[in-house]
Amino acid sequence: MNEIIRLLKSHRSIRKFTNQPIDEELLLEMIRAGQCAATSSFLQGTTVIRVKNPKHRKKIAVLAGNQQYVETAAEFLMFCADLKRSGDCCEMHGKTVAEGFTEHFIIATVDAALMAQNVVIAAESEGLGICYIGGIRNNPAEICKLLNIPKNVYPVFGLCIGYPAQNPETKPRLPVSVVLKNEVYEDMDDLNIIAMYDEHVREYYRTRTGGKKELCWSEQMAELLGKESRPHMRAFLREQGFEMK
């Protein structure tokens, strides 16, 4: 196994950070590495907002569900899917922007995710830890107002980066046999395999919490998909210019 694969397989979310700052040039290099990710049709549909203002950090932490590490990480980056920039290019060349198409929304969102993951890999290769913050979508309109995010741009997630002050175990992933299908989608044995995987996840949580938490993966998924999830997002995205035509 080479070092890159070993690094990828060692990923953990870090939620406690030291006070050590990240060198400015290293941060810029990580962003440059992020820009080298694949981008559909060369859209480059991502804008990253670096949030340094402590008051803004505190507000974002509250809006994201009181996630304190938004405040304590050395850097906090907001990754946004951006169709405004490409729309401005239409105006530069005398064309009318075709707003609200679902495909444009998808490629900008995927661009943001791909760029962010490149940044994450670059950060972890330098001994840094990260934590994605999807909780910013709890209150996306307030986030947009706070960070002056315009129409045709929306915040996809935040990213905490810093030097780790903890060393958690890696969380066990689904067996490859559940995720990788050959030729067609076949899931005849998946539930039996997931039942065995559930026990590995239970043990992970037992160890991680000293026996205070016993929860399996399928229970978490039943909880996640068994209730509404951010139903405000559709109206918010429409307001931001993403009509989903």
Tally of residues, the chain = 245
pLDDT at 106: 97
Q: What is the pLDDT along the chain (245 residues), one digit of tens a residue?
A: 899 999 999 999 999 999 999 999 999 999 999 999 999 999 999 999 999 999 999 999 999 999 999 999 999 999 999 999 999 999 999 999 888 899 999 999 999 999 999 999 999 999 999 999 999 999 999 999 999 999 999 999 999 999 999 999 999 999 999 999 999 999 999 999 999 999 999 999 998 888 888 899 999 999 999 999 999 999 999 999 998 88
CB 124 within 8 A of CB 66: no
Q: Which among 111, 123, 102, 115 has a CA at the least distance from the CA of 42?
A: 111
User: Residue 14: helix, strand or coil by DSSP?
Assistant: coil
Bridge partners, 130 (sequence order): 13, 161
Report the relative pairing of strands 75-82 and 129-133 from DSSP bridges.
unpaired
DSSP run (H or E) holding 162: strand 153-162
* Structural domains of the chain, count: 2
Q: Which two tokens stand for residue 124?
A: 């972890």
Statement to judge: residues 39 and 90 lie in one domain: yes
Statement to judge: residues 43 and 143 lie in one domain: yes
Statement to judge: residues 181 and 108 lie in one domain: no
221 occurs within a structural domain: no
Q: How far is CA 49 from the centre of its chain?
A: 14
Q: What is the rounded CA–CA span in Å between residue 25 and residue 37?
A: 19
The whole model's pTM is what? 0.95
Which strand ranges, in their side-by-side order, compose the sheet holding 46-50? 46-50, 75-82, 153-162, 129-133
Question: What are the φ/ψ torsions at residue 164 (nearest 5 degrees)?
Answer: -65, 140
66 occurs within a structural domain: yes
Statement to judge: residues 185 and 133 lie in one domain: no
Statement to judge: residues 29 and 63 lie in one domain: yes
Statement to judge: residues 106 and 182 lie in one domain: no
Statement to judge: residues 159 and 53 lie in one domain: yes
Q: Domain of 120: which CATH number?
A: 3.40.109.10
Statement to judge: residues 36 and 63 lie in one domain: yes
Q: How far apart are the first and last CA of the chain?
A: 45
Q: Which domain holds residue 182?
A: 176-209
Statement to judge: residues 121 and 138 lie in one domain: yes
Statement to judge: residues 38 and 142 lie in one domain: yes
Statement to judge: residues 184 and 157 lie in one domain: no
Statement to judge: residues 116 and 59 lie in one domain: yes
pLDDT at 209: 84
Q: What is the rounded CA–CA span in Å between residue 118 and residue 125?
A: 11
Longest Cα separation, the chain: 64
Q: Which two tokens stand for residue 86?
A: 């490409």
Q: What is the rounded CA–CA span in Å between residue 110 and residue 102?
A: 12
